[in-house]
Structure 1
Amino acid sequence: MNTMSKAERDLLKEKLDQLQCHFTWGPQKETIDLDDMKYRLQDSIDLKLKYKARSCNQFAFVNSLQGHYEKAIQNLQEAEKILKENYKDAFERRSIITYGNYAWVHYHMGQLTEAQSYLDKLEIICKPLTDGPRYSAMIPEVYGEKGWSLLRSAAQYYEEAMECFEKALEEDPNNTEWIMGYATALYRLEAIPGTPEKCKSSRSMIHLRRVLELDPDESLAMVMLALKLQENKQKKEANELVERALQKSPDIPKVLRNAAKFYRLEQSVEKAIELLKKALERTPHNSVLHDQIGMCYRLQLLELYKNPLSSDRQNPEFRQKMVLLDHCKHHFGKAFEHRPRTAIKSQLDYADICLKNGENSKAGEVYSKLLELDDIRPENMQRICLQAGFFQLYKRKSDSNAVKLFQKGLKIENNSKAWKSCYEQLDKWAERKLCRDPHDSKALGVKGLLHQIDGDKSKAIEYFEEALELDPSNEEYLSALCELRLSFEEHHDL
């Protein structure tokens, strides 16, 4: 342990906070699934993929978050060695993040003199590169690395990652590494309901084509572009790209995974499973591969459910159905084993398979755990509310719990499919209730909420007033009425 006065230690911490590295980039242990992250990083290191130093740097950060500081130092030594080998002329520019991470790890180890020595190195490197902070330089290499780090963390960081790649490309517009990063961020955002990118869902294609112009052998760009072309019904070019990518990179798990998705969407399920199993041999802990295999088996299962013989215990179709149910449960379970915070879809799919298998209490446990999560993307919470609402309505026969969940999903502002379904379910439920009993206060309150969301304030006021007459102490109705009347008066005063 180095000896420093409290004032010196505080000053050192102040300098560390100015650095550009994983320790200052947002995603912390509360927002990422560390065990899953470690598996993914280890896979990319073991596979000796391009940009291995990037994985070593991020691995150091994850190890540090778990208190494994010696391992973190080893990760950084490996990153430094790779950078020296791969970027002889640009080593200093590429080492800014590694040195920043070194400084932070030594600080956490109490090795304050060593931490200061890395700050000194950074000051020497950054001085000719920037007029800004003494210990960092916002150059394309820093923006790009930050972008990739955020992309690897969690979906709530994709927008920020996209902005990082934009900044990197301002100064270095023909760098395939940053164009690929920008295309990847757009590609992922385009898949998320409610994001502005979803409305312009072919922007990523422009940048994926640009990557292939600059590097015709970039097989991951080929399969990603193929999936976008498939979305746009351009099947011929899409097929050619997938075949070319598999010829060029027959063993890279990310290429195999995306190609498998392409074949699954083309209904070539057996081909998709074959590719995913091949990828799983190389990266057995890859949760996304397990999720994709689960989806393939579920397609086969749903097809089998159409066959009436699958309900007959004496029939081979029944036994096949039970095998497929087991396969689905196994793979969806593996998909969220190390990703309880981020693999929301896999958990919902697992719960759905449990319900198909009559395991209602197990499904209920999954929904309960998911509903306790916080700081997750709004469209994910809406999906949880919708599916848990159906569970309460049809399996638990609890209208009140179902309505609460649909309302919760509806109050999260996000124009997703799940949001629309929550709206429809509430409307159907309220209409059904009011047909039987026009004085049902809960149903009247729900109709008031739906009209409020639709912007029909006078109709909403009417329903809430009627609901309040029947349930005078209901604070929710009172609060909604006050808000509506105030807004109504302000509008008419204009």
Structure 2
Amino acid sequence: MSTASKESLESSLQQLKCHFTWNLRAEDESLDEFEDRVFNKDEFQNSEFKATMCNLLAYVKHCRGLNEAALKCLGEAEDFIRQQHPDQIEIKSLVTWGNYAWVYYHMGQLSKAQEYLDKVKQVCKKFSSPYRIENPVLDCEEGWARLKCTKNQNERMKVCFEKALEKDPKNPESTSGWAIANYRLDDWPASNDYIDSLEQAISLSPDNTYVKVLLAMKLEEVHENRAKELVEEALKKDPSAIDTMLGAAKFYVKVHDTDRAIQLLKKALESMPNNAYVHYYLGCCYRSKVLHILNTEETTSNGNREKLEALIQPALNHLRKAEDIKEMIENSCSHLAGLYVTTKQYEEADYYFQKEFNKDLRPLPKQLLHLRYGNFQFYERKCEDRAIYHYMEGVKINRESKPKGKMRDKLRKLALRRLSRDESDPEALRILAFLREHREGQGADKASEGEEDPGNRVPSASLE
């Protein structure tokens, strides 16, 4: 093929609607992060969209240089389309054929790439367009791809489903996608418009159990009984749907039924035993039960001590497993460290605190980590100097938060205590000068709504 012909082929490829032209990966995102979010972190794994998932996997395989594996995935996508959409094979296959064309192009098999371009063209010319048509099926397919892939681009995902609904207002698939997009975009508390979109999706797709769980999450604050009924109805309807189980587990954590959440997460783990996030959520659930005992019950009695030990071990096991599978999950090492503090295994606690410090943390989790580690140094290690250092490091972070306020209060109390013993204590005077420099109103104490409150409800606040 001549250079001119190759350029013409590439120009035609750019017109296709497929994963290679949708810019699904964020510029600052590694391929590992992208693949992890699509196939592990995102809870939406509905089996209805097997062809969509095969196309996504093909795209990832190509990005990793595994083009033969990518072609195999595209073949599986074609099989699912024939099985699930026998009356829409051509229009449903356009995205898959576009992906085929791109993979063959990158493999240097230009005649095969042209072959798949021609297949797309044969369908599109029926709509008076060479390679690109406006069709609700394609808008919907792009919407599902963005729902799985995009990082902070939920508005674009919503637009895809809105375009599909403009052409086919009662389409169940588009309505469900639009409702899920609304759910992800909506701020709490839920607005009636977004609740209505979920209600409409359920009326058009009564078998979509995942959407029922999302509606329950929105209703929980105002209609908890109805929300619970929706969740249990969804679980009964499709007890093996992973996304429904994971969504339901989050719901039960929200309504403080940790035992039910653990039950669901364990069941999900049977289908995905190496999913780091499921292990992490399980570990967090057991940790929550540990904190409840530490904060509300007498822990010196034999019965409560045994109960505590029985909860700490699975919390440690699941959090360690999550960390072994994927090291960069935020807070996993911090939670492990806090649990080891509870069992007075201080070397292990320090090890996991340091692992957490080595992660690229956002401002709030980093402040929380400095608070926890400072408390660990102060209460457990009896090292006031190290505690002061970490409280100061946390206060320096330019973010208003509850952890920042707590660290400022701790520094002020430490300074006043030292001055009560020695009015000219240089360290106390240094701390007070530091607090004046970082006084309230300079990125300080107002907590963001919905952020985690680290608390200080137990002597070792490194747990919380």
Q: Which residue of 1 aligns with 2:170?
A: 174
C-alpha deviation, 1:453, in angstroms = 11
C-alpha deviation, 1:26, in angstroms = 2.8
SS in 1 for 2:203: helix
Letter in 2 for 1:24: T
SS in 2 for 1:137: coil
C-alpha deviation, 1:106, in angstroms = 1.4
- Single out whichever of 238-247 and 121-130 deviates more from structure 2: 121-130
Matches within 5 A, 1:331-346: 331-335=318-322, 338-339=325-326, 343-344=329-330, 346=332
* 1:266-321 Cα distance to aligned partner (Å, 9 max, x none): 44333332232222223323444323322321222122224766457xx3543442
Matches within 5 A, 1:21-60: 21-28=18-25, 30=30, 32-34=33-35, 37-38=38-39, 49-60=47-58
> Which residue of 376, 394, 419 corresponds with 1:395?
376
C-alpha deviation, 1:241, in angstroms = 1.6
Note the residue ranges of structure 1 that are not aligned, 5 or more in a row.
191-196, 374-380, 411-418, 455-494
C-alpha deviation, 1:88, in angstroms = 3.2
C-alpha deviation, 1:80, in angstroms = 1.2
Distance in 1 between the 2:407 and 2:365 partners?
16
C-alpha deviation, 1:449, in angstroms = 6.3
RMSD between aligned residues: 3.5
The reply on whether 1:68 has 2:49 as its aligned counterpart is no
Distance in 2 between the 1:37 and 1:347 partners?
23
SS in 2 for 1:240: helix
Q: Which residue of 1 aligns with 2:124?
A: 126
Q: Which residue of 2 aligns with 1:144?
A: 140
8 Å CA contact retained: 2:136, 2:168 = yes
Q: Which residue of 2 aligns with 1:318?
A: 305
C-alpha change, 1:71 and 1:123, in structure 2 (3 Å) is same
Distance in 2 between the 1:10 and 1:52 partners?
34
C-alpha deviation, 1:249, in angstroms = 1.4
SS in 1 for 2:30: coil
8 Å CA contact retained: 2:176, 2:205 = no
Identity %: 30
C-alpha change, 1:253 and 1:448, in structure 2 (3 Å) is closer
Distance in 1 between the 2:439 and 2:415 partners?
10
Matched residue pairs, number? Answer: 419
SS in 2 for 1:447: coil
C-alpha change, 1:443 and 1:324, in structure 2 (3 Å) is same
> Which residue of 158, 174, 187 corresponds with 1:162?
158
> Which residue of 412, 435, 445 corresponds with 1:443?
435
SS in 1 for 2:358: helix
C-alpha change, 1:138 and 1:282, in structure 2 (3 Å) is same
> Which residue of 199, 202, 210 corresponds with 1:209?
199
The reply on whether 1:188 has 2:165 as its aligned counterpart is no
Letter in 2 for 1:447: R
C-alpha deviation, 1:395, in angstroms = 3.4
Q: Which residue of 1 aligns with 2:107?
A: 109
C-alpha deviation, 1:77, in angstroms = 0.8
8 Å CA contact retained: 1:433, 1:443 = no
C-alpha change, 1:265 and 1:422, in structure 2 (3 Å) is closer
- Single out whichever of 441-450 and 385-394 deviates more from structure 2: 441-450
8 Å CA contact retained: 1:38, 1:62 = no
Letter in 2 for 1:255: T
Give the number of the structure whose residues are more often helix, by fraction: 1
TM (norm. structure 2) is 0.77
Letter in 2 for 1:370: K
Letter in 1 for 2:317: H
* 1:24-47 Cα distance to aligned partner (Å, 9 max, x none): 333346163425645689x95xx9
Letter in 2 for 1:30: S
8 Å CA contact retained: 1:427, 1:450 = no
TM (norm. structure 1) is 0.73
Distance in 1 between the 2:443 and 2:48 partners?
54
C-alpha deviation, 1:261, in angstroms = 3.1
SS in 1 for 2:240: coil
C-alpha deviation, 1:216, in angstroms = 2.5
C-alpha change, 1:166 and 1:316, in structure 2 (3 Å) is same
8 Å CA contact retained: 1:294, 1:329 = yes
Distance in 2 between the 1:295 and 1:452 partners?
28
Distance in 1 between the 2:7 and 2:406 partners?
56
C-alpha change, 1:260 and 1:83, in structure 2 (3 Å) is same
C-alpha change, 1:205 and 1:268, in structure 2 (3 Å) is same
Note the residue ranges of structure 2 that are not aligned, 5 or more in a row.
378-385, 417-427, 447-464
C-alpha change, 1:262 and 1:439, in structure 2 (3 Å) is closer
- Single out whichever of 349-358 and 294-303 deviates more from structure 2: 349-358
- Single out whichever of 395-404 and 269-278 deviates more from structure 2: 395-404
Q: Which residue of 1 aligns with 2:364?
A: 383
* 1:407-447 Cα distance to aligned partner (Å, 9 max, x none): 4351xxxxxxxx43255357647866997549955433323
Distance in 2 between the 1:175 and 1:72 partners?
31
The reply on whether 1:19 has 2:16 as its aligned counterpart is yes
8 Å CA contact retained: 2:398, 2:444 = no
Distance in 1 between the 2:132 and 2:279 partners?
40
Distance in 1 between the 2:200 and 2:49 partners?
20
C-alpha deviation, 1:98, in angstroms = 0.6
8 Å CA contact retained: 2:262, 2:282 = yes
Letter in 1 for 2:202: L
Letter in 1 for 2:219: L
Q: Which residue of 2 aligns with 1:231?
A: 221
C-alpha deviation, 1:201, in angstroms = 5.0
C-alpha deviation, 1:345, in angstroms = 5.3
Distance in 2 between the 1:215 and 1:188 partners?
19
* 1:53-99 Cα distance to aligned partner (Å, 9 max, x none): 11111111122222222121111011112213333332222122111
Distance in 2 between the 1:10 and 1:159 partners?
33
SS in 2 for 1:95: helix
